[in-house]
Structure 1
Amino acid sequence: MRSTPAHRPPGGWTADDLDHLPSEGLDGEPDLFTHVELIDGALVLAAPQRRLHQRLVQGLTARLDMQAPAALTAVHRMDVKLGERTRPCPDVMVIDAEAGADMARTFYAAREVHLVVEIVSPESVERDRKLKPLRYAEAGIPHFWRVEEHDGRPVVYVYERDPATGAYTPTGIHHGHLTVQVPFPIEVDLDQLVK
C-alpha cells in the first residue's frame, strides 16, 4: 500500500512516491501536490512564482533548445532523480534528446542531464544557492547555472563540475549577455528574456 500525504512513511518519502501523490491537498485544496519536490525524504511544496520567474523559465528553455545539438534538448519543470530520497524539479534542464522523446517520463536520471538551471525565488534562496547545487554535483551533473534578479534584470552564475573534487567551480557571472562554450556553444541576450 502506498502512503498518502496524510501518512508520511517512516524514514520519509522516496522518489518513487512522488508519482503516486494525489493532486489535491488533505482539505481538498486544488492542485496542492501538482508541483512538489523531494529533498532528503521531505516534500517541498512550491510557492507561487512571479511573472519574471515564468518569463525566465520560458525564455531560457526556448533559447537552450534552439541552440542545443541534435543529441540534446531543453525541458522545464521536470524532475531529476538524484537518489532514493531526493528528486528535485529544476526550473530548466538540458537532457539527452532520447530521454526527452519519451512522453511517458515523469523524471530523468542524473546521467541523462547535462545542465541544470535554477532561478532563485525569495522562498528558494537557501535551496537554490546551497542545497541543490551540492546534490546536483554529487549526482555527477556536469553543469549548473543559478539565475538571480538584480534590479529587475537576470544575472546568471555559471558553474562547472570539477571531476577531481566532485564539486562545482564557478566559471563566470553574466550580466546582460551570456556566452559559454559548454555544455555546447550558447549565447543568450539576458535582458531580452524579461522584455
Structure 2
Amino acid sequence: MSIEPEASEPRWAVPPEGGWTADDLDTLPNLPPHTELIDGSLVFVSPQTLFHTRAVSFFEWQLESLAPPELEVVREFTIDIDRYNRPEPDVFVIDGELLQDGNQTRFPAEAVLLAVEVVSPESRSRDRETKPVKYARATIPHYWRVENHDGRAVVYVFEREPATGVYTSTGIFHDRMKVSVPFPVDLDLTAIKPRRRRAADPE
C-alpha cells in the first residue's frame, strides 16, 4: 500500500523575517483571492454576507453613474500605501488616466480620491481603526465607512483635514446620503436592504 506524501504548506504560510512586502502579493503562488497586506501581514477575506455584496455593488454602480468623466470607479483592487501596506478597498475612485494599462495589479494610494469600505464582522477593527489611519497618511482625501445596522445601511463620511493629516467626520447618513464632495452625490440608502418578494396574486 503506497503512502501519499504529506501536502507541503504554501509558501505564504510562514512569513519572512520583517514581514511580507507589497511586491510579494504579485509573486506569492496560490494566494487566496482578495488577499490584503497590512503591516507586513497577509489578511485573508472571510465569506461575505449578502449585505456586504449588495452594498459594494450599490456603491460601485451609483458612483459610476455620478462620477465626472475624468474619474473612474474601481471595485476590490489593491492600492499601494507603502512597502508593507497594500490594502484592497471595497470601492474607490481614482483618476481615469491611471487605468490605461490593463496589466497593472495595483494603483498608488496617493492618486485615490475616495475609498469606501463596507464593514464585515471580521473587518470591523480594520475598517474603523487601522485602514482610516493608513488612508489618511496616504493623503486619500475622502473615506466612507458603510455599516449594517439591523439590515439598514448607515454611512459614516470622513474628510482629511490638511493641517492635521487625519480624517474628520463630516456626516452620518441613514436613509438618504447627500454630499457635495468629492463630487455631488445623492443616494437612497434604503435601496441596499433586501427586496421583499411580492405575494403571489390570488388565482
TM-score (norm 2): 0.88
Q: Distance in 1 between matches of 2:99 and 2:176?
A: 27
Query: Superposition pairs for residues 70-81 of structure 1, below 5 Å?
Result: 70-81=69-80
Q: Which runs of 4+ in 1 moved over 3 A?
A: none
Residue deviations 1:75-122, cap 9 Å, x none? 110001100000001111011111134321211101220000011100
What does residue 161 of structure 2 align with?
A: 162
Q: Distance in 2 between matches of 1:137 and 1:93?
A: 14
Q: Distance in 2 between matches of 1:107 and 1:176?
A: 33
What residue ranges of structure 1 are gaps of 5+ in the alignment? 24-31
1:67 maps to 2:84? no
Q: How many residues align?
A: 185
What does residue 26 of structure 2 align with?
A: 19
Q: Percent of counterpart pairs with the same letter?
A: 51
SS at match of 1:98: helix
SS at match of 1:8: coil
What does residue 87 of structure 1 align with?
A: 86
What does residue 100 of structure 1 align with?
A: 99
SS at match of 1:111: helix
Query: Residue type of the partner of 1:136?
Result: Y
TM-score (norm 1): 0.91
Indicate the larger mover: 94-103 or 138-147.
94-103
Q: Distance in 1 between matches of 2:28 and 2:47?
A: 19
SS at match of 1:9: coil
SS at match of 2:51: helix
> Structure 1 residues 4, 150: closer, same or farther in 2, change over 3 A?
same
Query: Residue type of the partner of 2:156?
Result: Y
